[in-house]
A and B are shown apart, each in its own frame.
Chain A
Amino acid sequence: MCWTLEVGGDYRHSQASRRMLSGVTPAYQGTPRHSVLRVENLSVDFIRGGLGLHAVRQLSYEIGVGEAVALVGESGSGKTVSALAVLRLLPSRTARVSATSIDFDGNDLTRLADSELRKLRGYRVSMVFQDPLSSLNPLMTIGQQISEVLTTHLGLSDSQAAVRTQQLLDMVGIAGHSRRMRSYPHEFSGGMRQRVMIAMALACRPALLIADEPTTALDVTVQAQIMELLANLRKEFGMAVLLITHDIGIVAGFADRTLVMYSGRLVESGPTENVLAHPRHPYTLGLLRSIPRVDRNRRGELPSIRGMPPNPYDAIPGCAFAPRCAWAIPQCHVSSPALEAVGTDWAAACWVKPNEAV
């Protein structure tokens, strides 16, 4: 029973050693990562009314055991679609998913039968979404919904499940359980609902939690609470977290590594510290420079990225960011750059790779 599983000691160790080294260079390089999820060459196309839309192109990434990875991108960048594709949650009628391999926890998800995959979802990997109200059943009490996860996935009896539900609510900071357990979702505030979603997601101690814009619908003060909760629970459970967000601000305090997507492609990936302080892709750089900062006395106009994200239906021969890029050279409009290492465990997909600090 997964609840009683002890967290492997090697995670804490690797985490500690990484943190020790992280000031200068990340703990390791290349492949010898002990990964919980490894995605290779994931592509997703949507077919709509005879038009093909490339939502995700040739995406490869890896999430280490217990690692927090942020996937950053704006709407239409393919960040959510790529995560849904990994878990085979896209409608098969309109979405074409292809990948060389998707290795999760020792299973190749590209070959796994639907029934096997269903067992993994909610058990070894679970998701938290942006809108907790629509993810919760309005006609069931909070207690019933959490217990349901426990009884179906873990085969607990009703009374065992009730005890666990209380523990889970405790864990996510919801006090006064007996009354809370009998409440319905609409009686909870947005932040409380998101806590319930997290409790449900963590019910089986998953190896990976995918949090898709978990705080976008929340106020900043509540966002801070939820992000702190997620960070604490990650440490406590030793689980890996894939944080999908459009807000590059929230990754700084949370993610070990940051992946930046633009127009369906990974444009930069690396240790959060490096990517945020000294990005090597013009999009990352432009984005970071254009964000008004609350910690700076800066006034007047912002250095903005010109133009707008490309239409996903358009075929772009070169780099998708080239039309908006201040550093673009003729080559950028012709051929698309591949991810190229710019440091330890750090890569950018750019022909120019400007070397400027934010």
Chain B
Amino acid sequence: MSQSVIDEPISVSRAQVRSQRHNAWFELILRSPASMAGLLIAIAAIGIGLFANILAPHDYAAVDVTQRFLPPSLGHPFGTDEFGRDLLSRVIFGARTSLIVALSSTLVGATLGVVLGVTAGYFGRASDEAIMRLMDIMLAFPSIVLGIALATVLGPSISNLALIIGFIQIPAFARVARSSTLVVKAQEYVVAARTLGQSNAGIMIRHVVPNILGPLVVLASLTVPGAIVTEAALSFLGLGVQPPTPSWGNLVFDGTRFIYSYPLLVALPGIVLSIAVLGFNLLGDGLRDVLDPRSRR
């Protein structure tokens, strides 16, 4: 069974044209100013978090009671807080904490959500009912209430915070993963894989997950800002990152005590937080426009 049974091999003429489509999504991001701005902000935020120890002009925990509540100056561009710590350094290190929590919680939420959603969508029937009703129950609780309850039980720490916020995100990922799986499951290549003898796990890993990544990437990038805000909210309530470790949330929280006397202590971390959230949102919207053909004009 090796002989060729055709008159002549066929050349690959239309390949050149079509392969240009491959990197098109990146071009589309570059072309839209809003998503480009979002991309730059996201990269900047992650870069700041990554290189915090290089970028920060001072030690974020260095207390100097002689230098309390300084206004912005060359030495302390954001001024200092009530312990005389350099606010800019704290914001920079706060980026690291906030982003670690936001990104790892999204990873946790996405992983568990995708496993549940794909399972529900692929097998359908009872497992679908069971999993999705569970998700509905989780969604029935306001996420911040759920977060407070879990944080109270587990106790405040960065890793617990990531787990808690990730847990809150599971239903969103599960729903998107399930509905995308339903679409992919109906495609003939899934039927083809079954006729080849591929196992269910193999089909889900090899065919379903790669084909639903688009909407999941979009959701993830839109989840990150939510996670930053939730982290801030929990830290603000004292249930999140514990002092002296700075995070954007507890910086704002600490600043509120001096909101009338030294409003910059709230305003500066708050502005940075807002810009980062906006950036990830813009990036997410841009990715959705590119990856989800339904929202394309």
Closest 8 CB pairs of A and B: A311-B14, A311-B13, A313-B17, A306-B7, A308-B10, A306-B8, A311-B17, A314-B13
11 CB-based A-B contacts, threshold 8 Å: A49-B20, A51-B17, A306-B7, A306-B8, A307-B10, A308-B10, A311-B13, A311-B14, A311-B17, A313-B17, A314-B13
Please tell me if A190 contacts chain B, counting CB pairs below 8 Å.
no
Q: For the complex, what is the distance from the CA of A307 to the CA of B20, rounded to whole Å?
A: 23
A307 to B14, CA, bound (A): 13
If A306-B8, A313-B17 are given as contacts, then 12 extra A-B residue pairs at C-beta distance below 8 Å, sorted by A number, are: A49-B20, A51-B17, A306-B7, A307-B8, A307-B10, A308-B10, A310-B13, A311-B13, A311-B14, A311-B17, A313-B14, A314-B13
Chain B: residues with CB nearer than 8 A to chain A?
Answer: 7-8, 10, 13-14, 17, 20
Interface of B is mostly: loop
For A307, list chain B residues within 8 Å (CB): 8, 10
Chain B residues with CB below 8 A from A49, complex form: 20
A306 to B13, CA, bound (A): 15
CA A306 – CA B8 in complex, angstroms?
8
Measured CB to CB, the residues of A under 8 A from B are: 49, 51, 306-308, 310-311, 313-314
Residue of A with least CB distance to B8: A306
**Hey, which chain A residues are within 8 Å of B13, CB to CB?**
310-311, 314
Instruction: Please report the C-alpha to C-alpha distance between residue A311 and residue B16 in the assembled complex, in whole angstroms.
Output: 10
Instruction: Report chain A residues within 8 Å CB of B8.
Output: 306-307
Contacts of B17 in A (CB 8 A): 51, 311, 313
Q: How many angstroms between the C-alpha atoms of A51 and B13 in the bound complex? A: 15
Chain B hits for A310, CB < 8 A:
13
Q: How far apart are the CA atoms of A49 and B28 in the complex, in Å?
A: 12
Complex formed: what's the CA distance from A310 to B20 in Å? 18
Closest to B11 in A: A307
Q: How far is the CB of B3 from chain A (nearest CB, A)?
A: 16
Cα–Cα, bound, A51→B7 (Å): 32
* Chain B residues near A314 (CB-CB < 8 A): 13
Cβ of A115 to closest chain B Cβ, rounded Å: 26
Distance, CA A310 to CA B7, complexed state (A)? 18
Q: Which residues of A contact B7 (CB under 8 A)?
A: 306
Complexed CA–CA distance, A267 and B10 (Å): 24
Q: A310 vs B8: C-alpha distance in the bound complex, in angstroms?
A: 16
Roughly how many angstroms separate A207 CA and B62 CA in the complex, as a whole number?
A: 89
Min CB distance, B44 to chain A, in Å? 31
**In whole angstroms, what is the CA distance A314 to B8 when docked?**
21
A307–B9 alpha-carbon span in the complex (Å):
8
Residue of B whose beta carbon sits closest to that of A307: B10
> Complex: how many Å from CA A314 to CA B7?
23
Closest-by-CB residue of B relative to A310 is B13
- Complexed CA–CA distance, A235 and B252 (Å): 82
A310–B14 CA distance with the chains assembled, in angstroms: 8
Residue on A nearest B15 in the bound complex, by CB: A311
Smallest Cβ-Cβ distance to B21: which chain A residue: A49
* A51, B20: Cα distance in complex, Å: 11
A308 to B7, CA, bound (A): 13
- Nearest Cβ on chain B to A105's Cβ, whole angstroms: 36
Complex CA gap A307/B7 in Å reads 9
CB distance from A124 to the nearest CB of B (A): 33
A304, closest chain B residue (CB): B7
- Alpha-carbon separation in the docked complex, A49 to B14 (Å): 15
* Smallest Cβ-Cβ distance to B17: which chain A residue: A313
A51 contact set on B, CB distance < 8 A: 17
Q: Shortest Cβ distance from A97 into chain B, in angstroms?
A: 22
Which chain A residues lie closer than 8 Å to B14 at the CB level?
A: 311, 313
| Chain A neighbourhood of B20, CB < 8 A | 49
Among residues of A, the one whose C-beta sits closest to the C-beta of B6 is: A306
CA distance A308 to B9 in the complex (A): 11
Q: What is the CA–CA distance of A131 and B20 in the complex, to the nearest angstrom?
A: 31
What distance in Å separates the Cβ of A91 from its nearest Cβ neighbour in chain B?
13
Question: Which chain A residue has the least Cβ–Cβ distance from B20?
Answer: A49
B141 nearest CB across to chain A (Å): 38
- B275 smallest CB distance to A (angstroms): 34
Interchain nearest-CB distance for A224 vs B (Å)? 29
Closest chain B CB from A320 CB (angstroms)? 12
Q: Could you say which residues of chain B place their CB within 8 Å of the CB of A311?
A: 13-14, 17
Q: How far, in angstroms, from A351 to B185 measured CA to CA in the complex?
A: 52
Q: Which residues of A contact B10 (CB under 8 A)?
A: 307-308
Give Cα A311–Cα B13 distance, bound, in whole angstroms.
7
Q: Give the most central of B10, B17, B20: most A CB within 10 Å.
A: B17
CB distance from B27 to the nearest CB of A (A): 9
Contacts of A313 in B (CB 8 A): 14, 17
A326→B20 CA distance, assembly (Å): 33
Taken together as a complex, chains A and B put the C-alpha atoms of A253 and B17 apart, in Å, by 39
Q: Looking at the assembled complex, report how far the CB atom of A319 sits from the nearest CB atom of chain B, in whole angstroms.
A: 16
CA distance A306 to B10 in the complex (A): 9
CB distance from B11 to the nearest CB of A (A): 8
- Which residue on B lies nearest to A308, using beta carbons? B10
Most chain-A CB neighbours within 10 Å: which of B7, B8, B10, B13?
A: B13
Q: Name the distance in Å between A172's Cβ and chain B's nearest Cβ.
A: 34
Instruction: List the A residue with the shortest CB-CB distance to B24.
Output: A49
State the CA gap A49–B16 with chains docked (Å). Answer: 14
Q: Once bound together, how far apart are the Cα atoms of A51 and B10, in whole Å?
A: 24
B-chain residues with CB within 8 Å of residue A306 when the two chains form the complex? 7-8
Residue of B nearest to A51 (CB): B17
CA distance A259 to B69 in the complex (A): 87
Chain A min CB distance to B69 (Å): 58
In the bound assembly, the distance between CA atoms of A314 and B11 in angstroms comes to: 13
With both chains docked as a complex, state the minimum distance between the C-beta of B10 and any C-beta of chain A, in angstroms: 6
Q: Once bound together, how far apart are the Cα atoms of A314 and B13, in whole Å?
A: 8
